[in-house]
Amino acid sequence: MKTRIFTEENYTEKMNGEAALWRDTHMKQLRFRSPGGTRLHSRYAVNPDARGAVVLEHGFTEYAEKFLEMMYYFYQEGYSVFMYDQRGHGRSGRKIADENLVYVASFDEYTSDLEYFIDHVVKKQAPGLPLLLFGHSMGGCVSALFVEQHPDVFRGAVLSSPMLKMAFGDTPELAVRFLAAFSNMADWNARGIPGTAGFKAEPDFEHSCATSKARYLYHFDEQVTHRAYQTTGATYGWARAALRATDLVMKGAAKAAVPILLCQAGQDQLVDNAAQDRFAMTAPDVTLVRFPTAKHEIYRSTEDVLQLYYETILNFFDSKIR
């Protein structure tokens, strides 16, 4: 990897300087409507010397701007980059009035949005380029579902801390599934799940999913500044959809014929790493790489971890477009 990773000491300066300049001069924004009519907000940058195009899928309650650093590195390494705020997130449309909560009836909505984005944005802006996929957390689940259903679209897929099964902590899984079923009967679709709270404008790095304080604080300031980035909670409707999706993706693992790089965070408390291990053993072509000291958001680790993380991802991408 030729691009140098931003350090803790220079992170804010680099993000506000060269990364922001690149965004403002190279990235374009586009609003488009999904097949169901939901308006989605996208960002993309076409590299004139691109060797391939990377489509990125963010995680739960995230947004495209949070992956500016990653998109910048990919572009510098010779890739065009494409990303959108998934429905119910960031600057994209929502089906419920409470902007703090995420709702979908089914993850089929997410995979349909991804298919439409590829066909109507990516392929038009990057015609003929080999396509690669990156999905983090919830986006990793969406990505895994997509490649199981469409094995011929992407040359390779990176699943970073993918939500192949949620971690329930001390709550028995049977109790979680019982509550999910009850919420359906009670028509609690748009109601927040237990523990849901609004955005608090007070940083809490120690309990975050990041190990890089500079990266955590930079994006926290973004959330404080932009109301659209303050979504923090799940509805019962989303939780039921997520349970169904993770069951489906594990059941269909053998159909994921696309080469996959699975990046696992050793200190992950949000998703079940054992499910990732099972997926890696079941899917036809998975390389599992563990990052022992990383929390859930591997991409917000300190530069020592990130150097290996990006080298691993880019070596994988490069190997699929030769």
Kindly report whether the global pTM for this prediction surpasses the value 0.95: yes
Tens of pLDDT, residues 115-138: 999 999 999 999 999 999 999 999
3-state DSSP of the chain: CCCCCCCCCCHHHHHHHHHHHHHHHHCEEEEEECCCCCEEEEEEECCCCCCEEEEEECCCCCCHHHHHHHHHHHHHCCEEEEEECCCCCCCCCCCCCCCCEECCCCCHHHHHHHHHHHHHHHHHHCCCCCEEEEEECHHHHHHHHHHHHCCCCCCEEEEECCCCCECCCCCCHHHHHHHHHHHHHCCCCCCECCCCCCCCCCCCHHHCCCCCHHHHHHHHHHHHHCHHHCCCEEEHHHHHHHHHHHHHHHHCHHHCCCCEEEEEECCCCCECHHHHHHHHHHCCCEEEEEECCCCCCHHHCCHHHHHHHHHHHHHHHHHHHC
Q: What are the extents of the domains in the chain?
A: 29-321
Phi, psi of 251 (to 5 degrees): -65, -35
Band of the pLDDT at 2, cuts 50, 70, 90?
A: confident
Other CB atoms within 10 Å distance of the CB of residue 161:
29
CATH of domain 29-321: 3.40.50.1820
Task: Name the band, by pLDDT with cuts 50, 70 and 90, for residue 280.
Answer: very high
Question: What are the tens digits of pLDDT across the range 62-113?
Answer: 999 999 999 999 999 999 999 999 999 999 999 999 999 999 999 999 999 9
Q: What is the structure's pLDDT at 195?
A: 81
